[in-house]
A and B are shown apart, each in its own frame.
Chain A
Amino acid sequence: MGILSLLLWTPLVGGVVLALLPVQTPWKIRLLSNSFAIITLLWALVSLAYFETQNPLMQLTEHWVINAELGNTYALGVDGFSLPMVLLGSLLMCIAMQASAYISHGLKTYFASMLFLEFGMLGVFLTQDWIMFYIFWELTLIPLFFLIDRWGGARRHAASLNFVLYTIGGSLFMMASLFALGEFVPHMGGSLMTTFAEAAKMMPPEEQLLVLIGFLIGFGVKLPIFPIHGWLPLVHVEAPFPVSVLLSGILLKMGAYGLLRVVSMLPQAVLSVQAVLVGLALFSMLYGGLLAWRQSDLKAMVAYSSISHMGVVLLGILTFNVTGMMGAILQMTAHGLTAGALFLLLGWLYKRTGTLNIQDYSSLAPVIPRFAALMTIALLAAMGLPGTLNFVAELHAIIGGFERWGAWMVFFSFSILVSAAYAIRTLGLLFTGPVKPRMQGLKDLSRSEFLMGSVLMLLIVVLGFMPSKLMDLSEVTIKHSVAALATATAASAQGE
């Protein structure tokens, strides 16, 4: 039993134990579930300790054939793409669990669902087998559906249904693509990602393109890319805020991560539609940014800003160079931390005031200074201020983009400008202005809340000043992958 197996199965065991044990006292349930989440985080840290940054290949691998006839394998492994996500995911899960202390009804179901969700989410990042990937991918939907539908806001039923329908609709295309790829796998070849990558090379280019489109729809829904992001605003607004933290913090990254894997599998196809995809990425950035600027609901604003920021990830992936890819990976982490922190803070604010309309707020800084401090850092990070990880990420992405497309990056700059506009405006409206009697006498963040927020903010700032450690994690993998992409594209260019 390897470290990764322990990491993967701990939350599931936790969920099952929680579901089966006859524990009814709220604090016991919270303690139990929190300890499982923390154990999971510890396992993630252990795997980080064992991770060799100089090795470009899959590490800590485990391999175990489940079904020889069908060819699916229980294969786990981490590399520079997935390890940051595993760490981010288990960290955010710990924080979301802590922040769920306010949940008062259906505790057991809630925490068990959270643990099952973590199991599915870790599975997506750890598995090296496409069939298992698909299973884990769908597995995240079930707990999410219940979490949103049962503990969400006023329109939670519409939101959960919307979310599940969108995601299933997308993943059907992904499944079709996987089937199509499977046709080219030799008999008994299995469904390992490496096998599929080999199989993809056998594929005629036009079929590769169709397969890519299937994957793009599947992952694009999660990412999200412009026309298929319809579920996101509603779900983010209606989900209970710890779930929003997870959704924007880590579950959106599943889409980006899947896309990374697909891009390295089908490079020629990506190159052939690169212009369209870059156009979509840039448009998503501006689109999300401008719509975020229009929102007076704070949660909706953060939701739309997510679309904008995930556009950066897509752009970075598409650059096919080390700088741009690095930008994408860093942006995934940075956005996970920032958006998670923002949803966390807004959830706490909402609990205190019962409104998320920014026009109701004014002059909060003297009333709740701890909150103001954390919110200011988070919003400044969201606009990509130097000194935060977001700045490093966006800088890499924009440099990578310049290398590739040059002046087109002016739209990237515009979107950064727009994000600065809404971040600064939000800061101004929240913390300055005339004193409103209704907003006086609010309770500041409690010590534990402040601690949770501080962890995220510290990570953003520390990594913003010293990003090299984080970059080391992924650098070799990215270099390896970019080199592979270069040879593949060169080979296809020669072939033509």
Chain B
Amino acid sequence: MEYLVSGILGLPLLAAAWVGIRQLFGQVQGDQSEVMTAWAVILATLVSTLLCVGLAIWPAAEYPIVTLGTWLNSELFVVPLSFYTGGLNMHIAAVFAVIMLSMMRFAVNYLHREAGFHRFFFILSLFAAAILMLLLSATMIGTFIGWELAGVCSYLLVAYAYNSAVPVFNATRIFITNRIGDVAFLLGIGLSFSYIGDVSWQALQQAAPELTVTDTTVLALCFAIAALVKSAQIPFTPWLARAMEGPTVSSAVFYGAVSVHAGVFLVIFLQALFTQSFLAMSVLLILGILTAGYSFWVGLTQTDVKSSYCFAISGQLGLMFAECGLGLWEVATWHMLLHALLRSYQMLHAPGFIQQVGELPQRSFLTTLGKVRWVYVVSLQRFWLDPIADWTIVHPALRLAKDLSYFDDHVIDSAMGIPAPAINALASLAQLEEQKIGANLDNELDNFARGSGLAGKLAELVALILHWVEDRLVLRGVTEDALSLGRQLGHIANRIEQLLLRPRYLSLFVFITLLAAF
């Protein structure tokens, strides 16, 4: 009976594979294929939803974990393929599965004859599998796989209109931001393996009370960062606003209902760990309250419905984190589930809402606050969180990459003797240009200066040698080579100057020292 859990995960995955293969072989054309794709995905999700609901109501066994096999076995490091077949996880999975199912049904009409219909259903189905994996996996590795897969699906759907620049840029930015959380997650996995020698959630929850406060704090902070990024809390909130690029359905699934709640779920799920660490709880509380305030403030000036919802969502998520921070786990759980239900409806309804409201004048909210200029500006600029991130992380990283690329091109490549073809082609053009400096001595002269007789031939030979001396040493040697040498020296001086002026190496050095110190 408990092996049914493989069906919960497997069916959406199979449906995604089927859609993907059909698309790959070009068998999707016309309305008929849309129907087939939609039915395949919906049927798979329906079965898996029914299974979830069934298992949630009638848990299969007293011991709710089933192990289907071993994924990795490397002496001490064992990763079993094990899943929860009941309990909180299954309940949440059931709710989310119902939401996803109804969204899919909605999308069948919403995306009818839309370019990328099949792609959309493929990704949505894959996402369903990923999120169920995330929720049901009993090992950290499994959860991480689902976590990551959900991130990839989110990336693909934000970049749904991949032929225009802005969505693609936004998708990349979101994905990169999410990687910060992934790093923390992975660090958490590694640390818990080193502390308790196991990567199953259950072991962590059981071992949590016995760990030292420092260990639990570090672990809890790692998972907290992962959760904060996933649920768009301060200072990572701006990615959520960028995510509203995809079709409305995907916005609803990912950022209204399911995906953003993964962070909250992780925290609630690890309450045994978090309650051990006062610091981690305080971090959750403070950041949650800050995010709620921030979202409220910024939300006041939003003029389109999707952005308003977006900041409403991050605000509610902030409240959930605050509840977790206060230890109100039950409240947070209900809050999360109800919010997912409400928000999914609200997001799907957004286009219709606009049509219904139409041209009606909108009532401004808190107008007195809007008259204070700095409050207004701060709200409009969203606290400059994006530019701050650019200046502190993105630009230094880019420049560092540029330096390394320079090092690679000029030191490693030249040492290894790997040619850089494009650059060389340009350089030969430049050489051609530079050859023009100096008197033009190369034009048919050898046919022109002809002597006859012994003296004439001798003069010709001497003139030839002198010509070489003049052309190579005097004209090009002195002017051209000196100029290019000067130019190279100038480049080097510029580079050193840049390195000295920019604090990135200093900060990198400080960073490394700090890392080494801990």
Q: Could you tell me if A294 and B448 are in contact, using CB atoms closer than 8 angstroms?
A: yes
A162 sits at the interface (CB 8 A)? yes
- Bound form: Cα–Cα A421–B466 in Å: 17
Residues of chain A from 413 to 441 with CB closer than 8 A to chain B in the complex: 418, 421
- Bound form: Cα–Cα A165–B479 in Å: 9
Q: Which of A46-54, A230-238, A340-348, A390-398 contacts B (4 or more CB under 8 A)?
A: A230-238
Q: Which residue of A lies closest to B439 (CB)?
A: A233
A264 sits at the interface (CB 8 A)? no
Residues of chain B from 432 to 461 with CB closer than 8 A to chain A in the complex: 436-441, 443-445, 448-449, 459
Q: Which of A207-215, A285-293, A361-369, A470-478 contacts B (4 or more CB under 8 A)?
A: A285-293
Q: Could you tell me if A296 and B467 are in contact, using CB atoms closer than 8 angstroms?
A: no
A454 sits at the interface (CB 8 A)? no
B470 sits at the interface (CB 8 A)? yes
Q: Could you tell me if B462 and A290 are in contact, using CB atoms closer than 8 angstroms?
A: yes
Contact of A230 among B438, B449, B463 (CB under 8 A): B438
A158 sits at the interface (CB 8 A)? yes
Q: Could you tell me if B463 and A293 are in contact, using CB atoms closer than 8 angstroms?
A: yes
Q: For B470, what are the chain A residues with a Cβ–Cβ distance below 8 Å? A: 287, 291
Chain A 147-170 interface 0/1 with B at a Cβ cutoff of 8 Å (1 = within): 000000001001000100110000
CB A44 to nearest CB in B, in angstroms, measures: 34
Chain A 368-401 interface 0/1 with B at a Cβ cutoff of 8 Å (1 = within): 0000000000000000000000000000000000
Interface centre among B441, B466, B475 (most CB of A within 10 A): B466
Q: For A234, what are the chain B residues with a Cβ–Cβ distance below 8 Å? A: 437-439, 475
CB A277 to nearest CB in B, in angstroms, measures: 18
- Bound form: Cα–Cα A381–B3 in Å: 112
Q: Which residue of B lies closest to A162 (CB)?
A: B479
B401 sits at the interface (CB 8 A)? no
- Bound form: Cα–Cα A166–B438 in Å: 13
CB B285 to nearest CB in A, in angstroms, measures: 68
Q: For A290, what are the chain B residues with a Cβ–Cβ distance below 8 Å? A: 459, 462-463, 466
B478 sits at the interface (CB 8 A)? yes
CB A97 to nearest CB in B, in angstroms, measures: 27
- Bound form: Cα–Cα A359–B473 in Å: 27
B398 sits at the interface (CB 8 A)? no
Q: Does more than half of chain A's interface fall in helix, strand or loop, or is it mixed?
A: helix
A227 sits at the interface (CB 8 A)? yes
Q: Could you tell me if B479 and A230 are in contact, using CB atoms closer than 8 angstroms?
A: yes
Q: For A421, what are the chain B residues with a Cβ–Cβ distance below 8 Å? A: 459
- Bound form: Cα–Cα A286–B436 in Å: 26
| Given A290-B466, A291-B463, A291-B470, residue A296 in contact with residue B437 (CB < 8 A) | no
Contact of B436 among A158, A227, A294, A295 (CB under 8 A): A158
Q: For A237, what are the chain B residues with a Cβ–Cβ distance below 8 Å? A: 439-440
Q: Which residue of A lies closest to B478 (CB)?
A: A230
Q: Could you tell me if A294 and B449 are in contact, using CB atoms closer than 8 angstroms?
A: yes
A479 sits at the interface (CB 8 A)? no
- Bound form: Cα–Cα A303–B466 in Å: 15
Q: For A303, what are the chain B residues with a Cβ–Cβ distance below 8 Å? A: 439
Residues of chain A from 236 to 289 with CB closer than 8 A to chain B in the complex: 237, 286-287
- Bound form: Cα–Cα A298–B139 in Å: 88
| Given A293-B449, A294-B449, residue A229 in contact with residue B437 (CB < 8 A) | no
Q: For A297, what are the chain B residues with a Cβ–Cβ distance below 8 Å? A: 439-440, 443
Q: For A291, what are the chain B residues with a Cβ–Cβ distance below 8 Å? A: 463, 466-467, 470
A223 sits at the interface (CB 8 A)? no
A300 sits at the interface (CB 8 A)? yes
Q: Which residue of A lies closest to B448 (CB)?
A: A296
B474 sits at the interface (CB 8 A)? yes
- Bound form: Cα–Cα A295–B438 in Å: 14
- Bound form: Cα–Cα A291–B473 in Å: 14
Interface size class of A (residues with CB under 8 A): 20 to 34
Q: Which residue of B lies closest to A287 (CB)?
A: B466
Q: Which residue of B lies closest to A165 (CB)?
A: B479
CB A424 to nearest CB in B, in angstroms, measures: 13
- Bound form: Cα–Cα A290–B445 in Å: 12
Q: How many residues of B contact A (CB 8 A)?
A: 23
| Given A155-B437, A158-B437, A293-B449, residue A229 in contact with residue B474 (CB < 8 A) | yes
CB A160 to nearest CB in B, in angstroms, measures: 12
Contact of A233 among B445, B466, B475 (CB under 8 A): B475
Q: For B445, what are the chain A residues with a Cβ–Cβ distance below 8 Å? A: 294-296
Q: For B439, what are the chain A residues with a Cβ–Cβ distance below 8 Å? A: 233-234, 237, 297, 300, 303
CB B197 to nearest CB in A, in angstroms, measures: 73
Q: For A230, what are the chain B residues with a Cβ–Cβ distance below 8 Å? A: 438, 474-475, 478-479
- Bound form: Cα–Cα A240–B28 in Å: 73
Q: Could you tell me if A296 and B438 are in contact, using CB atoms closer than 8 angstroms?
A: no
Q: Could you tell me if A296 and B459 are in contact, using CB atoms closer than 8 angstroms?
A: no
Q: For B444, what are the chain A residues with a Cβ–Cβ distance below 8 Å? A: 296, 359
Q: Could you tell me if B479 and A294 are in contact, using CB atoms closer than 8 angstroms?
A: no
Q: For B475, what are the chain A residues with a Cβ–Cβ distance below 8 Å? A: 230, 233-234
Q: For B449, what are the chain A residues with a Cβ–Cβ distance below 8 Å? A: 293-294
Q: Could you tell me if B440 and A294 are in contact, using CB atoms closer than 8 angstroms?
A: no
Q: Which residue of A lies closest to B446 (CB)?
A: A294
Q: Could you tell me if B443 and A296 are in contact, using CB atoms closer than 8 angstroms?
A: yes
| Given A230-B478, A293-B463, residue A359 in contact with residue B448 (CB < 8 A) | yes
Q: For B443, what are the chain A residues with a Cβ–Cβ distance below 8 Å? A: 296-297, 357
- Bound form: Cα–Cα A440–B516 in Å: 87
CB A230 to nearest CB in B, in angstroms, measures: 5
- Bound form: Cα–Cα A418–B456 in Å: 10
Q: Which residue of A lies closest to B438 (CB)?
A: A234
Q: Which residue of B lies closest to A283 (CB)?
A: B466
Q: For B459, what are the chain A residues with a Cβ–Cβ distance below 8 Å? A: 290, 293, 418, 421
Q: For B438, what are the chain A residues with a Cβ–Cβ distance below 8 Å? A: 230, 233-234
CB A251 to nearest CB in B, in angstroms, measures: 18
Q: For B448, what are the chain A residues with a Cβ–Cβ distance below 8 Å? A: 294, 296, 359
CB B510 to nearest CB in A, in angstroms, measures: 45
Q: Could you tell me if B462 and A162 are in contact, using CB atoms closer than 8 angstroms?
A: no
Q: Which residue of B lies closest to A414 (CB)?
A: B459
CB B263 to nearest CB in A, in angstroms, measures: 63
CB A86 to nearest CB in B, in angstroms, measures: 31
CB A298 to nearest CB in B, in angstroms, measures: 12
Interface centre among A234, A357, A418 (most CB of B within 10 A): A234
Q: For A231, what are the chain B residues with a Cβ–Cβ distance below 8 Å? A: 479
Q: For B478, what are the chain A residues with a Cβ–Cβ distance below 8 Å? A: 227-228, 230
Q: Could you tell me if A162 and B463 are in contact, using CB atoms closer than 8 angstroms?
A: no
CB B449 to nearest CB in A, in angstroms, measures: 4
CB B53 to nearest CB in A, in angstroms, measures: 81
| Given A230-B475, A230-B478, A234-B475, residue A294 in contact with residue B437 (CB < 8 A) | no
CB B171 to nearest CB in A, in angstroms, measures: 48
Q: Could you tell me if A155 and B436 are in contact, using CB atoms closer than 8 angstroms?
A: yes
Q: Could you tell me if A227 and B440 are in contact, using CB atoms closer than 8 angstroms?
A: no
Q: For B440, what are the chain A residues with a Cβ–Cβ distance below 8 Å? A: 237, 297, 300
Q: For A227, what are the chain B residues with a Cβ–Cβ distance below 8 Å? A: 473-474, 478
- Bound form: Cα–Cα A165–B438 in Å: 14
Q: Could you tell me if B463 and A294 are in contact, using CB atoms closer than 8 angstroms?
A: yes
- Bound form: Cα–Cα A228–B478 in Å: 9
Q: For B464, what are the chain A residues with a Cβ–Cβ distance below 8 Å? A: 294
- Bound form: Cα–Cα A286–B466 in Å: 10
Residues of chain A from 59 to 89 with CB closer than 8 A to chain B in the complex: none
Residues of chain A from 154 to 192 with CB closer than 8 A to chain B in the complex: 155, 158, 162, 165-166
Please, could you name 5 A-B residue pairs with CB atoms under 8 Å apart, sorted by A?
Answer: A158-B436, A233-B438, A290-B459, A290-B462, A293-B449
Q: A162-B479, A237-B440, A291-B466 are in contact. List 20 more A-B contacts (CB 8 A).
A: A227-B474, A228-B478, A230-B438, A233-B439, A237-B439, A287-B466, A287-B470, A291-B463, A293-B449, A293-B459, A293-B463, A294-B448, A294-B463, A295-B445, A296-B444, A297-B439, A297-B440, A300-B441, A359-B444, A359-B448
B residues lining the A interface (CB < 8 Å) = 436-441, 443-445, 448-449, 459, 462-464, 466-467, 470, 473-475, 478-479
Q: Which 4 A-B pairs have the closest CB atoms?
A: A233-B439, A290-B463, A294-B449, A158-B437
